[in-house]
Structure 1
Amino acid sequence: MYKKICVIGLGYIGLPTASLLAVKGYEVHGVDINRQAVESINQGEVHIYEPDLDIMVKAAIQSGQLHVSSEPEEADIFIVAVPTPFQDDHKPNISYVYDATMAIAPYIRPGNLVILESTSPIGTTEKIVNWILEARTDLSVSETSHSICNRIYVAHCPERVMPGQILRELVENDRIIGGIDSPSTKKTVEFYKQFVSGEILETNARTAEMAKLTENSFRDVNIAFANELSLICDHLDISVWELIRLANHHPRVQILQPGPGVGGHCIAVDPWFLVDAAPEQAKLIRTARIVNDYKPGYVVDRVSERAGRFKSPVIACLGLAFKANMNDLRESPAVKIVEHLSKLEVGTIYVAEPHIKELPESLLLMHVSLMAAEEAIRKSDIVLLLVNHDVFKDIDSNLLKEKIVIDTRGFFN
């Protein structure tokens, strides 16, 4: 029976996973290179926002089942949940996975299970095996009579949660588990069945890796279709919001809503992993990425054109997060739009983002001001709605009269 778990990476996936396992009764050792985050967690505090995560982390720390540091420890199971960004040329960057693997390699013992949860390029789980065996020639992943006593188990189980629902979905969502071999898959399934109520789906490591990339690419392609429709409708002077509403009355049509682009660490990143793996075959996926990456610049052009009508324009930008009702700014198209508008010096820019206390450094350096939504609107000539936060529903519609409103979410329609 597995008793101790070492979780590498205490971000949006690692920290909820570590705290959940701790309250389930496992002894959990969390590891992160961010020393400030380590100090906060050890005090029962959180450095990221996720509903109810602070309560769970405090309970896990106070129970003594969760403790964190900057160095790994010996454990029965090692879970790697570190970032996997892409580089400027859209090439995958798995250096964090490599660093995490090298960090745990000295602590791995025969019989241990190593699980990669980070969304990764196809073949990354196999690379983890190679890295471990290069660092630890005393270990094995085979079951021959000479090596079975030294064998370890390695598998990929991609996270499939949505920010804002992570703690619930960690338990309720179906999970895909792909080991480097059948014994690794079985060992991993046995572990996840202890705390996951959703269905456990077994496959191999490469298919598990591609499944997660496929899920996010599917979303990206469908968002790109909606975004391209919005471009066509602007050109033809048609309301895209009315168009989609009408088209979705067809029993086999369900078009998503367009927006200012695509953000977050998953949908805006993962499709590039498939493009990199099969550049000649992934034509549609590449095109979807191009369409969605084009949209922020298109929004900037629309704002700039309207700002040119004023001598000293003031622009109120509503929302910075990559999705509604969150404070997560990762890969946010709203942030990119505000940054671009600032660089172009199209006017004075006020930002209303009720889920953060201060602006990211890039915007502070550009002298962008953070303020309440209604105050920003009152002072503005142009209102740019970038994120459909629920709190914006309370905005007095009378404030929008006499303003130029650019609504990238169909929020005021």
Structure 2
Amino acid sequence: MVNVIGLGYIGLPTALMMAAHGVKVIGTDYNKELVSTLNAGRTTFKEEGLDELFEKAVELGITFSTEYQITDTYIVSVPTPYDEESKKIDAKYVESAVSTILEICPKGAVIVIESTVSPGTLDKYVRPLMIRKGFIIGQDIHLVHAPERIIPGNMVYELLNNNRTIGADDKEIGERIKKLYASFCNGDIVVTDIRTAEMTKVVENTFRDINIAYANELAKICRSDNMDVYEIIRIANKHPRVNILQPGPGVGGHCISVDPWFLVGDYPGLANIILAARKINDSMPEFVLERIYEIMKEKHMTDIGRVGFYGLTYKEDVDDMRESPTLQMLESMEKHLCGNLVKIYDPFITNDVVPNQLHNLDEFLNSVDLVVLMVGHSEIRQNMDKLEGKIVLDTRNICDMEGVYRL
């Protein structure tokens, strides 16, 4: 049996996928309300294919509990934030989960850390914890790192098809965990050492962050000299060895916007390009605000209450708001005492999380003159005609109407 610890955006789909492919799974989370919802037969967030996966997993026997289980295999999938000041990883949730496991696990159990961590985290925090509790690593307990590689909006497909990395001290243990993931994963599964696995995952997300930062810096350069950054990127990408991503209002989510900071925090003075990229991407919400004020001045708008932000999530067609550029913008506006004046709407966020949040597209559009497209949800892509007559700032380059403002 596998006990999956942490039933959030990564842990729940992983637990369901294993259970749906014949692995006996019990999912554990300290959040009693979350566990109650799952035991009542409902998923806790929206994701294409997740409900169907949930039904199959329940049919094959998955259960959910707030209690850790006595078993031979644990998968830890808990948050790994970073310290805002030092930029180093905050491993408290991983430490807490492992500590609780060590109180009940039988001799020879395997603890798999799925949470994304900075290189050396398991050496700095997890191994010392095991030793302090009297465990001999490699005999009494086995440690593995299998970093997740999925993204909200495409989780089910990516769980099935993405390549995976298994980091282990003992190759035999690594092969055992590889077999577990191979129960559902069709991608290549590489077995390596733990530190390499830690570094590989962080490097992957940092690469994308740097590429996005390049696009965002190009957007700023082009805006300063009245050039079309989208046309420039489109033409540049015709070169066979060039693949520039699209600029946007910022980088959100709990991977690309977080993981690069691990390297900045752990390798100060060395991670210079990474630090510059982080600063560029973190500056984009403020850049969007500057564009809004420029447009308002040009259009002689004086009422910030007639401005509306379409989208609260960090990417299209998901309900994940973690590190959302829109929330970053609202936080910045609050410093100027106007963050509670703009109208907000997102079809995926049905509960009120910010002031002036509306829950109907037509109501939202009728209440504003300037629409800022922060997220390219399918809903707005399919209703572009409703933007006729509005001033539109398109931060995602999805609207082809005449007169639309862009980054």
Residue 292 of structure 1 is matched in structure 2 by: 281
CA distance in 2, matches of 1:230, 1:375: 32
String of CA shifts for 1:369-405, please: whole Å, max 9, x gaps: 314334323332211111111211233446433x332
Retained in 2: the 8 A contact 1:44–1:62?
Answer: no
Query: What displacement does 1:202 show?
Result: 1.6
Do the aligned partners of 2:331 and 2:339 also contact (CA within 8 Å) in 1?
no
1:85 aligned onto 2:81: yes
Query: Separation in 2 of the partners of 1:95 and 1:347?
Result: 33
TM-score (norm 1): 0.90
Q: Structure 2: any 5+ residue segments left out of the alignment? A: 401-407
Identity among equivalent positions (%) equals 38
Task: Single out whichever of 298-307 and 67-76 deviates more from structure 2.
Answer: 298-307
Hey, what does 2:129 align to over in structure 1?
A: 131
Measure how far apart 1:343 and its partner are: 4.9
Question: Number of residue pairs matched?
Answer: 394
Matched, 1:312 2:308: no
1:257 to 2:255 alignment = no
Report deviation, 1:231: 0.5
How do residues 1-400 of structure 1 correspond to structure 2 at under 5 angstroms? 4-63=1-60, 65-89=61-85, 90-126=87-123, 127-135=125-133, 137=134, 139-142=135-138, 150-308=139-297, 309-313=300-304, 314-341=306-333, 343-344=335-336, 345=338, 348-360=341-353, 363=354, 367-397=355-385, 399-400=387-388
Is contact 1:50-1:166 (8 Å) kept? Answer: yes
The CA distance in 1 between the partners of 2:183 and 2:59, in whole Å, is 22
CA contact (8 A) 2:79 2:115 kept: yes
| 1:346 Cα deviation after fit | 7.2
In structure 1, distance between residues paired with 2:59 and 2:313: 32
Aligned residue identity for 2:12: L
Q: How many Å apart are 1:108 and its aligned residue?
A: 1.8
**1:316 to partner: Cα distance:** 1.6
How far the C-alpha of 1:35 sits from its partner, in A, is: 0.7
Go from structure 1 to structure 2 and tell me whether the alpha carbon gap of 1:258 and 1:359 turns closer, same or farther (over 3 Å shift). farther
Measured after TM superposition, the shift of residue 347 of structure 1 is 8.3
Distance 1:152 1:8 in 2: 17
Q: RMSD between aligned alpha carbons?
A: 1.9
Residue deviations 1:72-105 (CA, integer Å, cap 9, x gap): 0111210000000112212211100001001111
**In the TM superposition, what whole-angstrom CA distance separates every residue of 1:185-205 from its partner, at most 9, and x where no partner exists?**
233223223332211112110
Where does residue 404 of structure 2 map in the other structure?
Answer: none
Q: Deviations over 1:47-91 (max 9, x none)?
A: 12222222322332344x211211201112100000001122122
Residue identity in the other structure for 1:246:
I
CA distance in 1, matches of 2:339, 2:181: 52
In 2, Cα distance between equivalents of 1:347 and 1:96: 33
1: CA distance, partners of 2:313 / 2:386: 25
2:119 and 2:198 in contact (8 A); partners too: yes
The alignment status of 1:407 with 2:375, answered yes or no, reads: no
Find the residue that maps to 1:177 and give its secondary structure: strand
Partner Cα distance (1:248, 1:408) in 2? 20
Q: TM-score, normalising length from structure 2?
A: 0.92
> 3-state DSSP class of the match of 1:154?
strand
Q: Is the CA contact 1:7–1:81 (under 8 Å) kept in the aligned structure 2?
A: yes
